[in-house]
Amino acid sequence: MNDMTSGSPIKKIIRFSVPLIIGNLFQLVYNMVDTFIVGRTIGLNALAGVGLAGSLGFLILGFAQGFTGGTSIPLAQAFGARDYTRVKRSVAINIVLAILVTAILTILSTIFLKDILKLMGTPDAIISYAYDYMFIIFAGMTVTVFFNMVSNILRAIGDSRTPVVSLVITTVANIILDILFIVYLKLGVAGAAYATVLSQLIAVLICYYVIQKDIYFLQVSRKDFDFKRSEIIHHCQLGFPMAFQTSIIAIGAVSVSTALNTLGPEAVGGYSAASKIDQLVIQVLMSFGIAMSTYSAQNYGAGQYSRINDGVKQALLLSFGVSFAFAVFLIFTGGYFTSLFGDPASGQTLHLYGHHFFLLTAPFYWLLALLFILRSTLQGLNDSFIPTMAGIAELIMRVIAAFVLTPIIGFSGTVLSNPMAWLGSIIILVPAFYRKRKELRLLDDF
């Protein structure tokens, strides 16, 4: 556990972020393994199909993941206030709500998957790959959602280490299962999906074991499910806006994929491969944001309002420095790393697309750094409205890039959807955060 209500803010944030970064990187690795093995052993069309499925998965799974992230905030606030009875009831509410949301999403996503892919204008050459992969992922959604729920619960009490350990083990398991299912059993892209679901199940079991063994105040009994209606409403007031916010952003990603489909399988494959590298940066910067969500929620629950402002300043300096380092590195090497996802025949094509991708994206990583810190801090302070509005701004900018710029300037228009979306979000978040900062100063005076 990591009590973030005392001590040096930046030390607490880094201590929380480092395991989180390691865990997110391992999660990224096991996602990349699917893409890498599929691209190297099955071909460019299969690579494009799995890559396209990523944006669709973000739309559906992102809703559930955003929801569990939001419902963990009341738990972090209760932990900051040292109200362990309320912590247990929050765990119980998280479980019930996760089951209900997952059941609805699983039914809808599996039934309408093929229709959605056709609506996106998915090329015939890759639609079967995308369908085979995503159907299994959606059918196993319960595992994915519960992994995110348990991880968010642990992070809410400052434990970012246990999710890391589970992800390290999961990554190794995923690599082994990918090789077994794809290379030896010849299950194709379906094998990659099976490997992902089964490896995440391992992560869920590890986290559950740690809670049952070591963290008594997260262990729930039947009486903890006797919660009040007002408590359910409070969790939903934070969970659903974060879920919709994630889905709004995901709709933008699906819009980009739809526009990308008009450029052909090579462009889809190039963008998908480059996006896997881009996710490395996103996961690191997002880790600082998640740390700030827990940091601000715990300090808000403890009434340490001035400490929140200090943490934001220090986290921004850290995040800006990291984003600059990534930008310089990927401008010069992004094309090379993208080419590694293809076989010898497609490697040069992927290199060109990857180099172009990072020339237009990497210089704007500082915007993404600012976005994650401010949005997550506001969420930790019970503000779900402004982050949702910021998500809508992201969606508008992505749609403009996808359907206005792409027909005019092609692949460049699709790539520019990322920095344009970040800018749209920042325009909403910055003035809102300054207003919130003034409120915290006033509270601190009492």
Summarised one tens digit per residue, pLDDT across range 67-114 is 888 888 888 888 878 888 888 998 999 999 999 989 998 998 899 888
pLDDT of residue 429: 93
Residue 2 placed within a domain = no
How many angstroms separate the CA atoms of 377 and 299, rounded? 11
Count CB atoms within 10 A of the CB of residue 24. Answer: 24
Summarised one tens digit per residue, pLDDT across range 258-307 is 787 788 778 877 887 888 889 889 888 988 988 898 888 888 877 788 88
Parent domain of 13: 9-445
Summarised one tens digit per residue, pLDDT across range 220-242 is 888 888 878 888 888 888 888 77
Confidence check: pLDDT of 366 > 80: yes
Residue 13 placed within a domain = yes
Residue 201 placed within a domain = yes
pTM equals 0.71
Residue 97 placed within a domain = yes
Confidence check: pLDDT of 446 > 50: no
How many angstroms separate the CA atoms of 62 and 137, rounded? 13
Residue 4 placed within a domain = no
Residue 1 placed within a domain = no
The answer to whether 84 and 217 are in contact (CB under 8 A) is yes
Count CB atoms within 10 A of the CB of residue 292. Answer: 30
Q: Which residues contact 357 (CB under 8 A, 6 or more apart)?
A: 270, 271, 274, 275, 278, 334, 338, 415
Residue 3 placed within a domain = no
How many angstroms separate the CA atoms of 383 and 241, rounded? 10
Structure tokens at 147: 């992994």
Confidence check: pLDDT of 322 > 90: yes
Residue with tokens 């819009």: 255
Confidence check: pLDDT of 309 > 90: no
Summarised one tens digit per residue, pLDDT across range 163-200 is 888 888 888 888 888 888 888 888 878 888 898 899 88
pLDDT of residue 443: 53
pLDDT of residue 370: 95
Domain count, the chain: 1
The answer to whether 86 and 78 are in contact (CB under 8 A) is yes
Confidence check: pLDDT of 360 > 90: yes
Structure tokens at 43: 């071909």
How many angstroms separate the CA atoms of 279 and 129, rounded? 22
How many angstroms separate the CA atoms of 194 and 228, rounded? 39
DSSP state letters, 10-49: HHHHHHHHHHHHHHHHHHHHHHHHHHHHHHHHT-HHHHHH
